[in-house]
Amino acid sequence: MSETITIKSMAEWQAEGKSPEVLFWVGCAGSFDDRAKRITRSITTILHHAGISFGVLGTEEACTGDPAKRAGNEFLFQMMAMTNISVLNGYNIKKIVTGCPHCFNTLKNEYPGLGGNYEVLHHTEFIKNLLDEGRIKIEGGDFKGKKIVFHDPCYLGRGNGIYEAPRKVIEVLDADLTELKRSREKGLCCGAGGAQMFKEAEPGNKEVNIERSEEILAENPAVVATGCPFCMTMMTDGVKHFNKESEVKVLDVAELLVNSLKK
């Protein structure tokens, strides 16, 4: 993507006396993790391509508090939530797109009880809507006929019942979408949820991401698609563990789509 996209913060939008269609909630992984930043840029490319005006909070964005809550620190979670809510309400935000199922779940389900009421969409849902409305079109692309498996992120799938949106986006690419044995309601976690991302696993006989990677690699896919920066880390590590990184790519649904956008 050679085109430069200007990323405007909500403060800049406000200074111009305007407001964008949506707020893009980037999330911590999407802001700081090098691999996840590429997903973030793919999402902005899609938004730009579809002509969606969007803003980000930039330095005013703070962790939603999700990992604190799942780790059991409700105090810290609610402090983060209330701080974020006062920023969001200050900009009169109505609609949010997130690049992370954990941010998505927290903003959508846990903020309303603390005074933050927004229409919240995960980026795979948002992209699916753009495709449905014809605001983005697909042409060619590298994934035609390629075997793609989708790893359901827990907080998107079981957590919020969103199974179809990411699959619909993959299907549009004319790819060979193959279901894993453990998929949808029965999807196996990548091992990072519930604040596990930030600690070593408890003693056991295997890492969860290795268990999942074995299942995925048994299918011999060209691509493992996912929709979560934590799943991205875990699956990438898993594929590397088996030295399969040159044959099997791990990509976010947004990255898959960017490749096939009609110029």
Partner 1 sequence: MGIPNLIFVVVFLAACILFWRNASKISRNIKLGMPLDRSDRKGERWRLMTLVAFGQKKMFSRPWPALLHFFVYAGFVIINIEVAEIVIDGIFGTHRVLSVAGGLYPLMLASFEVLAFLVTAGCVIFLIRRNITKVKRLVMKELDGWPKTDANLILIMEISLMTAFFFMNAADRSLFISGHPHYNVDIGFMPVSGYLAGFFSGWESSQLVFLERFCWWFHIIGILAFLNYLVVSKHLHIILAFPNVFFSRLEPKGKFDNLESVTGEVKLMLDPTLTPPPAPETPLKFGARDATDLSWKQLLDAYTCTECGRCTSECPANITGKKLSPRKIMMDTRDRIDEIGKNLDKGKKPGEDGKALLNDYISPEELWACTSCNACVQACPVNIDPLSIIMDLRRYLVMEQSAAPNEINLMLTNIENNHVPWQFSPADRLNWAQEK
Which residues are at the interface with partner 1 (CB under 8 A)? 7, 9, 26, 28, 30-32, 37, 40-41, 44, 56, 58-59, 61-63, 65, 67-76, 78-80, 82-83, 105, 109-110, 113-114, 154-155, 158-161, 185-189, 191-208, 210-212
Question: Would you say 138 or 210 has its CB closer to partner 1?
Answer: 210
**134 burial class (0-12, 13-18, 19+ CB within 10 angstroms)?**
exposed
CA angle, 230 then 37 then 135, to 5°: 100
The Cβ-side half-sphere exposure at 169, using a 13 Å CA radius, reads 30
Question: Would you say 16 or 202 has its CB closer to partner 1?
Answer: 202
* Helix ranges, the chain (H): 10-15, 28-32, 34-49, 66-70, 74-90, 101-105, 123-132, 164-172, 208-217, 229-241, 253-258
Question: Do the Cβ atoms of 181 and 214 come closer than 8 Å?
Answer: no
Minimum CB–partner distance for residue 125 and partner 1 (Å): 14
Roughly how many angstroms between the first and final C-alpha of the chain, as a whole number? 11
> Strands across the sheet with 147-150, in order?
176-178, 147-150, 223-226, 249-252
Minimum CB–partner distance for residue 168 and partner 1 (Å): 20
* Helix ranges, 91-181 (H): 101-105, 123-132, 164-172
Q: Is 176 helix (H, G, I), strand (E, B) or coil?
A: strand
Minimum CB–partner distance for residue 215 and partner 1 (Å): 11
Question: Would you say 31 or 236 has its CB closer to partner 1?
Answer: 31
Minimum CB–partner distance for residue 203 and partner 1 (Å): 7
Question: Would you say 41 or 95 has its CB closer to partner 1?
Answer: 41
Question: Would you say 52 or 189 has its CB closer to partner 1?
Answer: 189
Minimum CB–partner distance for residue 119 and partner 1 (Å): 15
Minimum CB–partner distance for residue 115 and partner 1 (Å): 10
Question: Would you say 56 or 175 has its CB closer to partner 1?
Answer: 56
